[in-house]
A and B are shown apart, each in its own frame.
Chain A
Amino acid sequence: GAVVSQHPSRVICKSGTSVKIECRSLDFQATTMFWYRQFPKQSLMLMATSNEGSKATYEQGVEKDKFLINHASLTLSTLTVTSAHPEDSSFYICSASGWNYGYTFGSGTRLTVV
């Protein structure tokens, strides 16, 4: 079946630094990547949608300059949290979609900003 590898699974960073999260589709071409954020005991909230080779489309209230999304290839998308602050601490999850493939989720990244 379709597999999406997400790294790192956990990261702790200092306030003001940047963190990059990678999602790779291992056995299919991900034409679209979705990035979600999940706070404790809450649902998955869509942050942005990116199509390979295009700029990401961000949901209302999500700062595009803070959450940089790159989807330069059909197998790799990255989310960079810039100038991270404690309120950015959350669980970030990617989901990849491709032709004839539904939605395949990564295993998530727990970001803690101290």
Chain B
Amino acid sequence: QQQVKQSPQSLIVQKGGISIINCAYENTAFDYFPWYQQFPGKGPALLIAIRPDVSEKKEGRFTISFNKSAKQFSLHIMDSQPGDSATYFCAAGGNQAGTALIFGKGTTLSVSS
């Protein structure tokens, strides 16, 4: 499988702080980059996604920054809350039907109150 490298593995942020998670991909054919949030025992839930025709996308407190030339993208969580404590996965996929999402290894975020 084509790799998607994610860092850091774990992250501790104080309430109200900014959480930043980074990902890098190899396959330039990827053109869909989602972030998923997963709570223990649950399936992953789509948080926000971006396509390479834009460099940034913001939805509420969540922002994706995308750098096509560097093949990197990141998730910023503004005003982090204890309820944001979860595991976050970046992923990359293709536009064509039948192309699977390839996931990063995940980042466990803990937001301390």
A residues adjacent to B (C-beta < 8 A): 6, 31-32, 34, 36, 41-46, 49, 51, 59, 93, 95, 97-99, 102-103, 105-108, 110
Contact = CB atoms under 8 A, between A and B. Distances in A.
B41 interface: yes
Interface of B: 1, 32, 34, 36, 41-46, 49, 89, 93, 97-98, 100-106, 108
Contacts of A95: 100-101
Nearest to A6: B43
24 contacts: A31-B97, A32-B97, A32-B98, A42-B105, A42-B106, A43-B89, A43-B104, A43-B105, A43-B106, A44-B44, A44-B89, A45-B1, A45-B103, A46-B100, A49-B100, A95-B100, A102-B46, A103-B101, A105-B36, A105-B43, A105-B44, A108-B41, A108-B42, A110-B41
* Residue picked from A6, A44, A108, most chain B C-beta under 10 Å: A44
B100 A34 contact: yes
Contacts of B45: 105
Contacts, number: 57
B98 A49 contact: yes
B2 to A, nearest CB: 10
Nearest to A54: B98
A103 B42 contact: no
Given A46-B1, A108-B43, 15 more contacts: A6-B43, A34-B101, A42-B106, A43-B105, A43-B106, A44-B89, A45-B103, A46-B100, A49-B100, A51-B98, A99-B97, A103-B34, A103-B101, A107-B42, A108-B42
Contact of A102 (B1, B32, B105): B32
A106 B104 CA distance: 19
